Amino acid sequence: MRIISLNELTPKQGYCLSILSAILLLLSFPPFEFGMFLGWIVYVPILLAVYFETEVKRVKRMVMIASLGALPVSLGFSWWVLDMLRIVFPQAPIWLKIPVFILGIIVCIVLTRIFVEIITRLWQPKSRPSAIKITRFLPSNLAIIIIPIAFTSIEFIALNIPGLMRITGIYGFFSMAKTQWKNIPILQIASFTGIYGITFLVIIVNCSITLFIIHYKKVKKIYKPSIIIFCLFPFFHLYGFIITPSRSDGSVTIAVLQMPPQGENTYNNYFDLSNESLKYNPDIIILPGLMLDGLIIDEGFINFSSSNNVYITGFVENLGYYGIVSPDGDLKVDNFGYHLATIPNDLISLNILRLFFPKVNSLEFDIGSFAVTDCFESGLPLAARDRVRKGAEILLVPTGSPNVQAFSWLLKINAIFRAVENHIYTVEVVGDYDSSIIIDPYGRVINDIAPEKNIIVGTISFINQRTFYSTFGDIFGWIIVICFIILVIYNFKIKKKSTFKYCIECESKIEKTAETCNICGSNQERPPLWKRIILHEYYEHKRKKSK
């Protein structure tokens, strides 16, 4: 068997490395549990392939192959878009489902395309400089931080743009930080930095390993910046071990009910299941968000709550939101402030302020304060953090999409990160067998003490403590964005002082005043940016024709 030599990488070997990254990426995300190991090397094969490849078209093709590892999740998201249509517009015609499904796939393709552009434009191939002006003049010793900063900045911006975050928030479901959902010590970083700190750490370790290999292959010397990262890496694990306390039982018993919706029988089945759960003496019974399947908190559940002295959570039909009813009949609902399903109402009511800056609240009862981040909202750290700042002491993550296993797993991971970021107990409830979980404030799934599969029982506590992240917010995220801006400015400063420039076609170094490239002969004049975006193929063809 011939060993791959990176210095003489063939196209076939490059594609093999791309496929390897795709497989590692697939195995790093749930429901697989290998991410806590594979996540740190998932991008190494594709980064090596891109670095030692000189043909731009082949580079983009290889990165696209590697991106296919997230295809199952992408299809799960597209299917969820159909469920959203069913929930928001229950009377929508069947034929409308086809373009909606296609729209979901387009969104996934756009996300993949962003990933492709980041890799191909920020990573420095072997025989040519970086392909984007904002980084191409930077010193080579900054390579180890350029991609991590760029990745993290894009993720942070996508999840925090006022208004648009209610659409671009889907990025939160695909974050590379999610590969560490089983890595309890590393998860603790999120209590300071939010999910963004783990994203940055995962990407910089991948880049460090890649640059270590490249540097050693080229000059037979150890790459010192990589060694620094390798030495710091164990301290993050050690820190996580130190601050994570041992498991302890809470003082409040909750019963989470789950079973597939069964049409007209859904309500009766869950009512019977609620009666069955009383043998565990629950203080709270949690129902999934299956309003369209007939599962709602009506007079029957309100009377059940009062007669059995138990709190019940679920959808409220006349209000259309997820809510909680107390034994004394007090009913409060959440407003889904950050959910994309509320966008049509904001537009119709012309409430532009609420569209860009939604208001959320915690639901206060004698037993404690609840918060609800329904389905899509759970992918946004800001949605949970705002509710915690309002006083929430326990977080519920319901969904009306019980039949997409890949998507329910993504909701579980969202719930785990929201629990760690804010150090509160979190419950993810899905109307399907073996899908719901109860999570403690440190991201650990609580053991289910109920033997049957349609009831999950555990003990929790209403916690009023605050983490650095829930108190001070996205300080780390803003630092990363500022660092990216500084890198761009630094690149511009170096470019201004430089005596050469790069050819826009072959990227060879040429004189700064040259109108044509002396290597490939291409014209160095470029049309305005808006024309390059709209008529890119036309100008690309025109430029090549002028050679």
Give the pLDDT band of residue 420 (cuts 50, 70, 90): very high
Render pLDDT for 305-340 as a digit per residue (tens, 0 to 9): 999 999 999 888 766 788 899 999 888 888 888 887
Neighbours of 335 (CB within 10 A): 17
Give the pLDDT band of residue 467 (cuts 50, 70, 90): very high
Residue 123's pLDDT is 63
> Given a cut of 80, is residue 473 above it in pLDDT?
yes
> Given a cut of 70, is residue 214 above it in pLDDT?
yes
Residues 340 and 414 in one domain: yes
Give the pLDDT band of residue 131 (cuts 50, 70, 90): very low
Residues 331 and 219 in one domain: no
Q: How far apart are the first and last CA of the chain?
A: 44
Residue 324's pLDDT is 92
DSSP state of 446: P
Render pLDDT for 216-275 as a digit per residue (tens, 0 to 9): 887 788 888 889 899 888 899 998 999 889 888 888 999 999 888 877 788 899 999 999
Residues 436 and 500 in one domain: no
Residue with tokens 């594709």: 46
The overall average pLDDT reported for the chain is 81
Q: Per-residue pLDDT averaged across 265-294, rounded?
A: 89
Residue 438 backbone zone (phi > 0: left; psi -120 to 50: alpha; other: beta): beta
Residue 136's pLDDT is 67
Residue 157's pLDDT is 92
Is 508 domain-assigned? yes
Is 199 domain-assigned? yes
> Given a cut of 50, is residue 1 above it in pLDDT?
no
Taking the C-alpha atoms of 208, 210, 212 and 215 in order, what is their torsion angle to the nearest 10 degrees? -130
In order of 169, 355, 376, the CA distances from 352 in angstroms are: 19, 5, 21
Q: Give the tokens for residue 489.
A: 């400015």
User: Of 466, 501, 536, which residue is a domain's last?
Assistant: 466
Residue 440's pLDDT is 93
Report strand pairing: 311-316 vs 284-286.
Answer: parallel
Neighbours of 276 (CB within 10 A): 15
Nearest to 256 by CA among 62, 490, 460: 460
Give the pLDDT band of residue 2 (cuts 50, 70, 90): very low
Residue 361's pLDDT is 85
In order of 81, 297, 406, the CA distances from 315 in angstroms are: 20, 6, 23
- Check: CB of residue 91 under 8 Å from CB of residue 133: no
Buried b (16+ CB within 10 A) or exposed e, 279-291: eeebbbbbbbbbb
Residue 468's pLDDT is 94
- Lowest mean per-residue pLDDT among 18-32, 112-126, 515-529: 112-126
pTM: 0.85
- Check: CB of residue 426 under 8 Å from CB of residue 172: no
- Check: CB of residue 306 under 8 Å from CB of residue 281: no
- Check: CB of residue 179 under 8 Å from CB of residue 39: yes
User: Of 417, 438, 466, which residue is a domain's last?
Assistant: 466
Residues 90 and 126 in one domain: yes
Residues 206 and 62 in one domain: yes
Q: Give the tokens for residue 251.
A: 């003082």
Helices 97-122 and 56-67 cross at an angle (nearest 10°) of 130
The three-state DSSP-derived secondary structure of 118-181 is HHHHHCCCCCCCCCCCCCCCCCHHHHHHHHHHHHHHHHHHHCCCCCCHHHHHHHHHCCHHHHHC
Residue with tokens 């594979």: 38
**According to DSSP H, which parts of 358-474 are helical?**
381-389, 405-422, 468-472
Residues 456 and 514 in one domain: no
Element (H, E) at 266: helix 266-277
Residues 239 and 287 in one domain: no
Give the pLDDT band of residue 546 (cuts 50, 70, 90): low
- Lowest mean per-residue pLDDT among 1-5, 326-330, 534-538: 1-5
Q: What CATH number is associated with residue 379?
A: 3.60.110.10
Q: Give the range of the structural domain holding residue 170, as residue numbers without chain letter.
A: 6-243
Q: Give the tokens for residue 412.
A: 């579980």
The number of folded domains in the chain is: 3
Residues 347 and 277 in one domain: yes
Residue 19's pLDDT is 86
Q: Give the tokens for residue 16.
A: 């093999």
Residues 331 and 439 in one domain: yes
> Given a cut of 90, is residue 396 above it in pLDDT?
yes
Render pLDDT for 174-209 as a digit per residue (tens, 0 to 9): 888 999 999 999 999 999 999 999 999 999 999 999
Q: Give the tokens for residue 168.
A: 């671009």
Residues 305 and 236 in one domain: no
Residue 490's pLDDT is 86
> Given a cut of 60, is residue 3 above it in pLDDT?
no
Instruction: Give the CA count within 13 Å in the CB-facing half-sphere of 338.
Output: 27
pLDDT-above-70 percentage for the chain:
77
Is 1 domain-assigned? no
Residues 115 and 195 in one domain: yes
CA dist 448 and 458 (Å) reads 6
Q: Give the tokens for residue 228.
A: 């620094």
CA dist 160 and 178 (Å) reads 18
Residues 151 and 268 in one domain: no
Q: Per-residue pLDDT averaged across 148-156, rounded?
A: 90
Residue 455's pLDDT is 92
- Lowest mean per-residue pLDDT among 6-20, 266-280, 330-344, 483-497: 6-20
CA dist 5 and 20 (Å) reads 16
Residue 315 forms beta bridges with which residues?
322
Residue 319's pLDDT is 60
Q: Per-residue pLDDT averaged across 513-518, rounded?
A: 73
CA dist 124 and 112 (Å) reads 20
Report strand pairing: 252-257 vs 284-286.
Answer: parallel
User: Of 432, 466, 500, which residue is a domain's last?
Assistant: 466
CA dist 491 and 413 (Å) reads 37
